[in-house]
Amino acid sequence: MKEYATFAGGCFWCMVAPFDQLTGISSIRSGYARDKQITSKASALVEKKNDYVEAVQIVWDPSQITFEDLLNLYWQQIDPTDSAGQFSDRGPSYRAIIFYHNEKQKEAALDSKRKLAQSGRFNNPIVTPILPFSSFYEAEEQHQDYYRKNAFHYKLYKEGSGRTDFLTQHWPKDRSYLKKILTPMQYFVTQENGTEPPFTNLYWNNKKQGIYVDLLTGEALFKTSDQLPSHTGWPIFKRPILYGNIKRVPAQHSTALKSKEGDNYLGLLLTEENSEYYQVNSAALRFIPKEKLKEEGYEDFLILF
């Protein structure tokens, strides 16, 4: 059995990726929702500004995930104290709203909102309304899965809007859910600062052209033209694609490397004869071949080849 959940949280580009990682999600579509019945799609277009909001509609399996789980994640994507928009997007069409599809969802949403208010996490009142769902229609295809199709632009937009900094400040990451979506080795490396075995990992001797991105966030990290022959058994690079996407974290006898947005452990910074090298675990990376860059939203990086 499938159920529906409809959430508005500002620009719908930013409301897909978080739910896409969950088990039990059948589909997530970006579109426009409202709590008052509209007669046609055309009338919705005319009345868009005042009568509906950008939203995502999620189809989910209640045998695998609960509505309460979805609510908990929803609150962690928005500013629930803002009734006039979200972050840099202002106006009625960017309001945060929970639309309930039945009385059970309504009660769960009200209870979740009450618990958030009582938690003291925010200094200002929680003002996100909980309204009965009436209608939803999908946005144009260019807006669907925007974070995948236009990963670089999506990252710049999310950071530039102020959303990333706000969420990081108010919701220190609980990463326990990652055990459900990562392999034991991927979790060990990215979350526990572990090191995978040399010479048996995926990319230590990769010869294909392409780029490497953060396994979880999709941040562009390294390109194969900067990958050096490895005598250690792990991928080694001369430089990152964007220095700003890599954090250097001093450790006791070394300097650790982490992805900026994801804060996921990557590997170590090596120094040899006044030169720096980036030694990275394959388990922290996802490789995107040159021929698939456009398909996966990294078209801007084709200029590197």
Task: Give the number of other CB atoms < 10 A from CB of residue 206.
Answer: 17
Homologous superfamily in CATH for domain 184-304 = Peptide methionine sulfoxide reductase. (2.170.150.20)
Can you give the pLDDT at residue 205? 95
Can you give the pLDDT at residue 36? 58
Task: Give the number of other CB atoms < 10 A from CB of residue 101.
Answer: 15
Pairing of strands 130-132, 96-100: parallel
Q: Which two tokens stand for residue 139?
A: 């946005």
Share of the chain above pLDDT 70, in %: 95
Homologous superfamily in CATH for domain 3-170 = Peptide methionine sulphoxide reductase MsrA (3.30.1060.10)
**In b/e form, how buried is each residue of 63-91, taking b as 16+ CB within 10 angstroms?**
eebebebbbebbbebbbbebeebbbebee
Can you give the pLDDT at residue 170? 87
Check for a shared fold between 3-170 and 184-304: no
Structure letter (DSSP) for residue 302: G
Ranking 31-45, 140-154, 206-220 by mean pLDDT, the lowest is 31-45
Whether residue 38 is predicted with pLDDT greater than 50 in this model: the reply is no
Alpha helices in the chain (DSSP H): 17-20, 41-46, 48-51, 67-75, 103-119, 146-149, 151-160, 163-170, 178-181, 184-192
Helix and strand counts by DSSP (H, E) for the chain: 10, 17
Q: Where are the domains of the chain?
A: 3-170, 184-304
Q: Which residue has the tokens 């589909």?
A: 27
194/71 Cα distance (integer angstroms): 32
Q: Is 277 helix (H, G, I), strand (E, B) or coil?
A: strand
Whether residue 45 is predicted with pLDDT greater than 60 in this model: the reply is no
186/190 Cα distance (integer angstroms): 6
What would the pLDDT profile of 202-230 be if each residue is shown by its tens digit? 999 999 999 999 998 888 999 999 999 99
The catalytic residues are 11
What would the pLDDT profile of 270-287 be if each residue is shown by its tens digit? 998 889 999 999 999 999
Can you give the pLDDT at residue 43? 47
CA dihedral (287, 290, 291, 293) positive or negative: positive
Ranking 28-37, 145-154, 199-208 by mean pLDDT, the lowest is 28-37
What would the pLDDT profile of 81-122 be if each residue is shown by its tens digit? 999 999 999 999 999 999 999 999 999 999 999 999 988 889
